[in-house]
């Protein structure tokens, strides 16, 4: 047995979450966003499982990610590359049958000259991040249609705030764009967009984080947790009242306290902002993190789990008890950052 932290990744729950999102918007096709190695959980494993569940449209960020997913899935599934093509990538797009998402005038020009193959057109309707300006639709409508896009899309800036008026503004702007492409499937919603109601679903939804158990779904819609992150206890001991814990002595013990130190740290992707804030669970009993997060070590208060606190015992940092978004919030971050930050040293296990 090793002291390495381990992430058990429940692929069946990713499939269940995909199916739940698919049922939520029955009129739309549900794709799978598997960029950044499927948010740190293994793009090839996740792609294979989603394909088995019936998903046949995928989004990655980089062309290399697309190639890797294509190798895994074989030909057939549609793989969109969100960052779009560079001149030196054109052959890779062709050979791996990848579909670029065109978001800049340069990419538009490049793809117009490339051997005719499908693409998506991405319009920026207000996020001011990436996407063609909607003004181009009127000025170059014919040229755009000549590309025979397979998809037109845009991205919401504030979907995680259902009452933010920006959602309705972007919906309106995107709806206007779709009118110039009456026969082309359209896509606007990321995970949080899937919760905004059928008007936002269009023909294709693009959930990412929700597949992996993150986001804050509305009441009555539950996602399965996907990742169980566990660290091994190295040492169990008693800290005395008045003593401090960890670098910088940022936590002072109010009373004699049973403590345990586990093999997990910021080198594994646990944010230092989780000092004196994160919660771990031993035998389902809450064990607060005391003091700073070190590179390889974290000390926890095991008062509530004294029987189970033994060297070698596994402590949960993400899972059914340590819920992803709650844990992320304790460190002032989001589920996205916790998952994509999980380090290489964390052993991935696919049961």
Ligand X SMILES: *Cc1c(COP(=O)(O)O)cnc(C)c1O
Please report, in range form, the residues annotated as the binding site for substrate: 129, 295
Q: Is the distance from CB of 144 to CB of 138 less than 8 angstroms? A: no
User: Active-site residue among 139, 195, 247, 350?
Assistant: 247
Tokens encoding 317: 């940092």
- Scanning 19-27, 173-181, 205-213, 230-238 for contacts with ligand X by CB under 6 A, the matching segment is 205-213
Task: Tell me the site size for ligand X, rule CB under 6 A.
Answer: 11
User: Active-site residue among 35, 39, 200, 212?
Assistant: 35
Residue 9 CB, shortest distance to ligand X, in Å, is 17
Does the footprint of ligand X cover residue 292 (CB under 6 A)? no
Does the footprint of ligand X cover residue 208 (CB under 6 A)? yes
The count of other CB atoms within 10 Å of the CB of residue 230 is: 23
Does the footprint of ligand X cover residue 121 (CB under 6 A)? no
Q: Is the distance from CB of 58 to CB of 80 less than 8 angstroms? A: yes
The count of other CB atoms within 10 Å of the CB of residue 68 is: 19
Q: Is 323 a catalytic residue?
A: no
User: Considering only residues 28-47, where is the footprint of ligand X by CB under 6 A?
Assistant: 33, 35
Q: Is 310 a catalytic residue?
A: no
Does the footprint of ligand X cover residue 191 (CB under 6 A)? yes
- In angstroms, how far is CA 83 from the centroid of its own chain? 16
Closer CB to ligand X, residue 259 or residue 334? 334
Q: Is the distance from CB of 242 to CB of 17 less than 8 angstroms? A: no
Report the residue number whose CB is nearest to ligand X: 208
3-state secondary structure of 196: coil
Cα separation of 19 and 64, whole Å?
27
Tokens encoding 10: 């429940």
Closer CB to ligand X, residue 18 or residue 111? 18
**Interacting residues with ligand X (CB under 6 A):** 33, 35, 82, 155, 190-191, 206-210
């Amino acid at each position: 047995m090793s002291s390495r932290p381990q992430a058990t990744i429940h692929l069946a729950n990713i499939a269940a979450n995909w199916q739940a999102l698919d049922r939520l918007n029955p009129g739309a096709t549900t794709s799978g966003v598997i960029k950044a190695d499927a948010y740190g959980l293994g793009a090839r494993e996740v792609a294979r499982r989603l394909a088995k569940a019936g998903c046949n449209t995928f989004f990655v960020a980089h062309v290399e990610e697309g190639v890797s997913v294509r190798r895994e899935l074989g030909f057939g599934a549609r793989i969109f590359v969100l960052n779009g093509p560079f001149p030196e990538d054109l052959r890779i797009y062709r050979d791996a049958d990848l579909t670029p998402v065109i978001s800049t005038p340069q990419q538009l020009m490049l793809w117009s000259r490339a051997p005719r193959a499908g693409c998506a057109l991405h319009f920026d309707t207000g996020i001011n991040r990436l996407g063609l300006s909607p003004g181009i639709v009127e000025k170059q409508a014919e040229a755009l249609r000549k590309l025979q896009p397979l998809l037109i899309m845009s991205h919401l800036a504030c979907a995680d705030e259902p009452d933010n008026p920006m959602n309705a503004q972007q919906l309106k702007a995107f709806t206007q764009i779709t009118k110039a492409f009456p026969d082309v499937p359209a896509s606007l919603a990321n995970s949080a967009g899937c919760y905004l109601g059928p008007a936002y679903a269009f023909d294709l939804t693009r959930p990412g984080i929700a597949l992996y158990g993150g986001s804050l779904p509305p009441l009555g819609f539950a996602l399965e947790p996907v990742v169980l992150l566990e660290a091994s206890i190295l040492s169990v001991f008693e800290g005395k009242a008045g003593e401090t814990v960890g670098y910088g002595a940022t936590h002072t013990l109010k009373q004699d306290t049973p403590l345990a130190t586990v093999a997990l740290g910021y080198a594994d992707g646990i944010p230092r902002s989780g000092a004196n804030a994160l919660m771990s669970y031993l035998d389902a009993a809450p064990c607060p993190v005391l003091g700073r997060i070190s590179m390889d070590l974290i000390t926890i208060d095991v008062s509530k789990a004294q029987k189970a606190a033994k060297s070698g015992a596994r402590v949960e940092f993400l899972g059914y008890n340590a819920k992803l978004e709650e844990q992320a919030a304790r460190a002032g971050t989001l589920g996205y950052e916790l998952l994509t930050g999980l380090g290489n040293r964390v052993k991935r296990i696919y049961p």
